[in-house]
Amino acid sequence: MGTELSLYSSLFLTVLIAIGLFFFIRASVKDRTQQATFTSEVAPELLREQFDHYFAQRAYQPMASGSVVTYQGIVKPSGFLMVFLTVLALAGLGSVALVLTVLVPQGGAWWFLLLSLSPMAGVFYRKRAMRPEVVKLQLVPGPQTTKIHVKAHRDELEKFKEKLGFDS
């Protein structure tokens, strides 16, 4: 009785971990768009030229002009993350297969066929992560400073802030 209870509790915990892994893989492609506002003492025209140059280097194309400038580029999936997610899925599915092999021995080694599903995690990430990335900029000139409102992916915001030397 005690051994059977510990096996079923192991299955329960393994399934919970597998569910967590599923949501982790799904969250790897979640949109993380944020907004930030920066100030600069540089004239708006010079800032616009600086932004055009910066985004051109990062393979973004300007899409609209006016009060809000939109830059669009394609995000390439990370090869490392694709492999990492596949390995995590392999470990998670291997754990489930191992517990099922002990609990339901009639399935024998067939439970380990679940491991063949692990590459789906990498494929899912690769397909979903390759998407158009949009950065929206609005320059609001003031008497002495220009406010820059930026809406972009949080990683792009960090690179933008770091490369162009803005403080929040």
Torsion-angle region of residue 165: left (phi > 0), alpha (psi -120 to 50) or beta?
A: left
Residue 129 CB neighbours (<10 A): 15
Higher pLDDT, 118 or 143: 118
85 and 100 housed in the same domain: yes
Examine the domain organization and report whether 6 and 84 are in the same domain. Answer: yes
Tell me which residue of 100, 110, 113 sits closest to 11, measured CA to CA: 100
Among residues 101, 103, 104, the alpha carbon closest in space to that of 112 is found at: 101
What angle do the packed helices 44-57 and 154-164 form, to 10 degrees?
120
**Cα separation of 36 and 64, whole Å?**
20
pLDDT band for position 168 (50/70/90)?
A: low
95 or 168, higher pLDDT = 95
Domain shared by 123 and 141, yes or no: no
Closest CA to 49 of 30, 62, 38: 62
Q: Are residues 26 and 81 in the same domain?
A: yes
61 lies in the same domain as 140: yes
The tens digit of pLDDT for each residue in 35-92 reads: 988 888 888 888 888 888 888 888 888 887 677 888 898 878 889 999 999 999 999 9
Q: How confident is the model at residue 116 (pLDDT cuts 50, 70, 90)?
A: very high
The total number of structural domains in the chain stands at 2
At residue 164, does pLDDT exceed 80?
Answer: no
pLDDT of residue 123: 94
In the chain, the largest separation of any two C-alpha atoms, in whole Å, equals: 79
Q: How confident is the model at residue 1 (pLDDT cuts 50, 70, 90)?
A: low
Q: Are residues 25 and 88 in the same domain?
A: yes
Q: How many CB atoms lie within 10 A of CB 97?
A: 19
Distances (CA, A) of 167 to 42, 160, 162: 14, 11, 9
Q: Are residues 145 and 64 in the same domain?
A: yes
Cβ neighbours of 119 (radius 10 Å): 14
Which range marks the domain in which residue 93 is found?
A: 1-30+77-129
Residues 22 and 48 both lie in one domain: no
Band of the pLDDT at 167, cuts 50, 70, 90?
low
